[in-house]
Structure 1
Amino acid sequence: MPEQQSSNSNTDALGYIRTCKNYLRSASAVHHRTSSTAFAELVDNAKDASAKTVWINRVTARKNQFCLSITDDGVGLDDRGLLNMFGLGYSEGKLFKGGIGEYGAGFKSGSMKLGRDVLVLTIQKRSHRMFAGLLSRTMHDMEGLQDLTAVTVEIVEGEDGELAVKQDSRKHRQSIDMIKKYSGVVQSEKGLVTLMKRLREAKRSTRILISRISSDLEWEKEDICMKMPRDKHYRYERSLRVYLSHIYGKIRVRDQQKNPTIVLRNSEIIPVIWEKTLYHKGETSFAMRIESLRGLGRVQCLVGFKDPLNQYPGKPEKLKRRPENEPQGVIWLVNGRTVELFTPTKTQAGQNGDEKAWTKYSAVQAKGKGARIICELNLNNPTGLKLQQNKDGFQKNDSYYKLLAKMDEQLRKHCSQAMHKS
């Protein structure tokens, strides 16, 4: 099928990626259930680029308009890397130690979930070259573009030390016009250069500015929240601060920190230490190795109860679904990054918030209700597990269900033994 192109003469010099513009809308809707996973996707990109710190904030763009700002101090991008990020299927996640990017769709789906237009400023640390790029749904609609179109320009330093947009072709001049018109952030070439200058002075490498922000977000002093009923959703589902503290937490205090520091609205996020969320009493916390399943590698888990075992009898009201009362289940980590939260085992399924299940002390221990299983996986080992495209969980294949069943079996066995010893 021949490539469709716009007949608009103002855009005939721009580069086409040969993908329908509707991909930007459909990808954001299909790949991300909530805006929280979209934020995590952009943090993952910074992590894959070796960033030590990621800053997330809301800043004033134009008069009476705000935009989201996600900045990192990673290695930055060159012109080819920037175009690859705007394109499809290219991922550098596997090129970096600890990277989990795989499908090359995260930036597009994540940024378009959060807003309609995104301006990227980047400085490659190795070469010190500076580039700006625009991906805009508004531009596609207003210009009548049918193919996914990326706009990029290079910013160079003159002999006098001042920065300026490199004016070497008609494409660059048209790109500047598109950025001024549709970025929602800058209104002039000087404004774009000023933003790049500030990025360089701050010694940071990449800044993503998302304008025409999604209406699904609510703004708090030190947090960004999802618009959800407070009485029907757990706190980690509503609060970006709590969600990111879970996603980029550690299993044990002594574990090496594998994730970047995240500063949300000028306040650092303190990562959760999963070991500290467990109540330890004798053998209620243990490590189990699952080696007997064909096709699965060695899996280590830390297990414990999320509250003291004797706290629940006579107090069933504490089990109601409340924001501060997070559920039981399996917490899955890959390369230090949590990819799935609170998956109930077969025994636990349906028990979150079940008051009758907690009326007897023995029922809690014998069946493992109220237990959390923190499981860290290395996908380089032959586990048979594969991440979903948005890294918000695993693909539900045969290996996944076998591993979950094995966890359930060993959990019930251990809890039964612990009850008889007590």
Structure 2
Amino acid sequence: MSLDLSSSSDSDSDGEGGGAKRLRGAGGGGSAGKRARVSAAGAAVDLPPGFLDPLPQAAASAAPAKSATKQFWKAGDYEGKPLGDGAPQSSVSGLDHVRVHPKFLHSNATSHKWALGALAELLDNSLDEVINGATYVNIDMLENNKDKTRMLLVEDDGGGMDPDKMRQCMSLGYSAKSKVASTIGQYGNGFKTSTMRLGADVLVFSRSGGKGGKRPTQSIGMLSYTFLRSTNKEDIVVPMIDYKNEQGWKRKLRTTFADWNTSLQTIITWSPYSTEAELLEQFSSIKEQGTRIIIYNLWEDDEGHLELDFDADIHDIQLRGGNRDEKNIQMAKQFPNSKHFLTYRHSLRSYASILYLRVPSFFQMILRGKEIEHHNIVTDMMLKKEVKYKPVAPNGVPKDANMVADVTIGFVKDAKHHVDVQGFNVYHKNRLIKPFWRVWTAAGSGGRGVIGVLEANFIEPAHDKQDFERTTLLARLEARLVQMQKDYWSGNAHRIGYAGTRAGRYDETEVISLVKICHWLVLGWIRLEEKFEPLMTRCPSPVLLRRGMPNREAE
């Protein structure tokens, strides 16, 4: 797979075609240059020979897009010109390469249905940089000097990226993190999906202090859906420029100065900054090392408002629309121990405070000038109970003798007010994957107020880190959590004022869930452990329970 990269060798002109319209009203023009493949070099990544070499010169594209939407879910309506046009495509190695159409940037980003989930990916990247010296991540709002629109800033003081690692960041699927056990990222796709989900364009500034005798470098890269659409590109072109520190910052060429300058002019035309000096000024907030990400041309909703709401709270970034429930916001003021359950869907401050199970004491998350206070949901509980869960592989053998999940279950402290708050918060390698996962849906008040926290490192998260891959291990965990909640509820509900509950008995609604457990037993998804043996005697209607079990003879 290859992407065009104008890192000192831009392919097509940045504004040819005369009438090209740019999102937010910006336009531009320029000259054609060369193309080079996006490199994904790095000591921990194996690349094919010649991966970093520039591609031969390609013809400039024409016929700019007629229009561009500002709404994310409609932005995929982009055809571009047909691939190939009958002309053979050259290759450095002589082998054919899969080409990547710019529309893939949008379709790839649709994995993030929830904008705050996309933002969390960028926070993950910053926290991962703790191993390289990061002490903070700063999230803020900036103003685009060209058109006065709002932009999103995410900045950290981690190890930064040298020119090769910057190209790896802009590539698809290349990640050295999968080989580092302590890091959250693993697929090499989070940066692209998250930034393109939040806005049409992103500009990255990164400074690397230089290691192993290498000189310090700084690089600027632009991934712009606006540029690609407006110039009708048929490949993903990523303009990039580099600098090296030799008694002052000097231009670092990978091919020729003409190529380097073409990339610079493309970035100036399609970014919020009008000169090279303005671009370099962005490094003033970075000391010896770090990365500064600016996302602009932010997506709008159907009413023409930005998806990200910067006005509701000057120290927060919130979401508009269906994720925001005014009733929940008012309830959060009345029931502070239930605040995160009621607000995490629309408030970045609320969500980020519970996003990690543990945060290093020296690491700060700063949102719009105010530090995010880390919050452990366990502190919101009362009548807590600790339960150990040991996963078992499909063959009946424990997946890892040392792999256990310590589950803390209890009533939220506001449960005495009978607030409908419940669910398990499931973390994976320190990262919250499923917030307040409602595993048991009972009629009436069953399970109300019961919450839990656990870290399940034996199941794999989905690519958007908002769910887990649907596997037998997950099904077994879900079945066990259902049973934990039922047992806890039946033994403790009377202590917070729920009438009609007796330990050791199930109501008619619970029988339905018991039927599910029987199905799981027969299908072999869970083992018949001692805790399940009393089911028939504790069930008020054993006949109904038997009716729910599959007929093995019929199978």
Q: Does TM-score exceed 0.5, indicating one fold?
A: yes
**Change over 3 Å in CA distance of 1:44–1:53 after alignment to 2:** same
CA drift at 1:333? 0.9
CA drift at 1:43? 1.0
| 1:4 and 1:146 in contact (8 A); partners too | no
Match of 1:52 among 135, 140, 146: 135
* SS of residue matched to 1:178: helix
| 1:14 and 1:175 in contact (8 A); partners too | no
| 1:16 and 1:150 in contact (8 A); partners too | no
Indicate whether 1:290 and 2:290 are aligned: no
> What is the total number of aligned residue pairs between the two structures?
376
- 1:412 corresponds in structure 2 to 486
Which has the larger share of strand? 1
More moved, 121-130 vs 399-408: 121-130
Q: Give, as a single letter, the amino acid of the residue that structure 2 aligns with 1:37.
A: G
Indicate whether 1:187 and 2:274 are aligned: yes
Larger CA Rg, structure 1 vs 2? 2
**Change over 3 Å in CA distance of 1:20–1:232 after alignment to 2:** farther
- 2:226 corresponds in structure 1 to 138
More moved, 30-39 vs 4-13: 4-13
User: Quick one: distance in 2 between partners of 1:232 and 1:89?
Assistant: 41
More moved, 389-398 vs 171-180: 389-398
- 1:226 corresponds in structure 2 to 319
Match of 1:306 among 399, 409, 412: 412
Deviations 1:297-337 (A, max 9, x none): 4222111111355443xxxxx44xxxxxxx31111112221
- 1:147 corresponds in structure 2 to 235
For residues 227-266 of structure 1, what are the structure 2 equivalents within 5 Å? 227-228=320-321, 229-231=324-326, 234-250=342-358, 257=360, 260-266=363-369
Match of 2:112 among 10, 26, 32: 32
User: Quick one: distance in 2 between partners of 1:158 and 1:257?
Assistant: 35
Normalised TM-score (structure 1): 0.81
Indicate whether 1:61 and 2:144 are aligned: yes
Match of 2:430 among 329, 336, 340: 336
Q: Give, as a single letter, the amino acid of the residue that structure 2 aligns with 1:13.
A: K
- 1:101 corresponds in structure 2 to 185
**Change over 3 Å in CA distance of 1:98–1:81 after alignment to 2:** same
Q: Give, as a single letter, the amino acid of the residue that structure 2 aligns with 1:374.
A: V
| 2:318 and 2:346 in contact (8 A); partners too | yes
Indicate whether 1:113 and 2:197 are aligned: yes
Q: Give, as a single letter, the amino acid of the residue that structure 1 aligns with 2:365.
A: I
* SS of residue matched to 1:23: helix
* SS of residue matched to 2:326: coil
CA drift at 1:16? 4.2
Q: Give, as a single letter, the amino acid of the residue that structure 2 aligns with 1:247.
A: L
**Change over 3 Å in CA distance of 1:195–1:3 after alignment to 2:** closer
Q: Give, as a single letter, the amino acid of the residue that structure 2 aligns with 1:334.
A: H
User: Quick one: distance in 1 between partners of 2:2 and 2:222?
Assistant: 25
Deviations 1:104-154 (A, max 9, x none): 111111011111111111111334211111111111122221111111111
| 1:38 and 1:113 in contact (8 A); partners too | yes
Measured on the aligned residues, the alpha-carbon RMSD in Å equals 2.9
Match of 2:285 among 185, 192, 199: 199
Indicate whether 1:270 and 2:373 are aligned: yes
User: Quick one: distance in 2 between partners of 1:79 and 1:96?
Assistant: 21
* SS of residue matched to 1:270: coil
Match of 2:157 among 68, 73, 98: 73
Deviations 1:87-113 (A, max 9, x none): 111123224442121221111110111
Unpaired segments ≥5 residues, structure 1 = 251-255, 313-317, 320-326, 358-363
Q: Give, as a single letter, the amino acid of the residue that structure 2 aligns with 1:112.
A: M
Indicate whether 1:208 and 2:293 are aligned: yes
Q: Give, as a single letter, the amino acid of the residue that structure 1 aligns with 2:390.
A: I
| 1:76 and 1:206 in contact (8 A); partners too | yes
User: Quick one: distance in 1 between partners of 2:406 and 2:434?
Assistant: 16
Q: Give, as a single letter, the amino acid of the residue that structure 2 aligns with 1:245.
A: S
For residues 263-412 of structure 1, what are the structure 2 equivalents within 5 Å? 263-279=366-382, 281=383, 284-291=384-391, 294=396, 296=399, 297-307=403-413, 310-312=416-418, 318-319=419-420, 327-345=421-439, 348-349=440-441, 356-357=444-445, 368-378=447-457, 383=458, 385-412=459-486
User: Quick one: distance in 2 between partners of 1:210 and 1:137?
Assistant: 11
Q: Give, as a single letter, the amino acid of the residue that structure 1 aligns with 2:35.
A: L
User: Quick one: distance in 1 between partners of 2:3 and 2:277?
Assistant: 35
Q: Give, as a single letter, the amino acid of the residue that structure 2 aligns with 1:211.
A: Y
User: Quick one: distance in 1 between partners of 2:210 and 2:250?
Assistant: 20
CA drift at 1:82? 0.8
User: Quick one: distance in 2 between partners of 1:298 and 1:332?
Assistant: 13
| 2:388 and 2:404 in contact (8 A); partners too | no
Deviations 1:1-32 (A, max 9, x none): 9999977593441334531100111122x211
Normalised TM-score (structure 2): 0.62
- 2:308 corresponds in structure 1 to 217
User: Quick one: distance in 2 between partners of 1:292 and 1:112?
Assistant: 39
Match of 1:124 among 208, 213, 217: 208
Q: Give, as a single letter, the amino acid of the residue that structure 1 aligns with 2:105.
A: L
User: Quick one: distance in 2 between partners of 1:3 and 1:247?
Assistant: 33
Q: Give, as a single letter, the amino acid of the residue that structure 1 aligns with 2:481.
A: M
Unpaired segments ≥5 residues, structure 2 = 6-10, 17-30, 39-98, 300-305, 329-341, 495-501, 504-555
| 1:120 and 1:208 in contact (8 A); partners too | yes
| 2:3 and 2:237 in contact (8 A); partners too | no
* SS of residue matched to 1:25: helix
User: Quick one: distance in 1 between partners of 2:222 and 2:347?
Assistant: 29
Deviations 1:174-195 (A, max 9, x none): 1101110112x21111111222
Deviations 1:331-354 (A, max 9, x none): 111222111111112xx2256xxx
| 1:121 and 1:133 in contact (8 A); partners too | yes
User: Quick one: distance in 1 between partners of 2:367 and 2:259?
Assistant: 37
More moved, 285-294 vs 122-131: 285-294
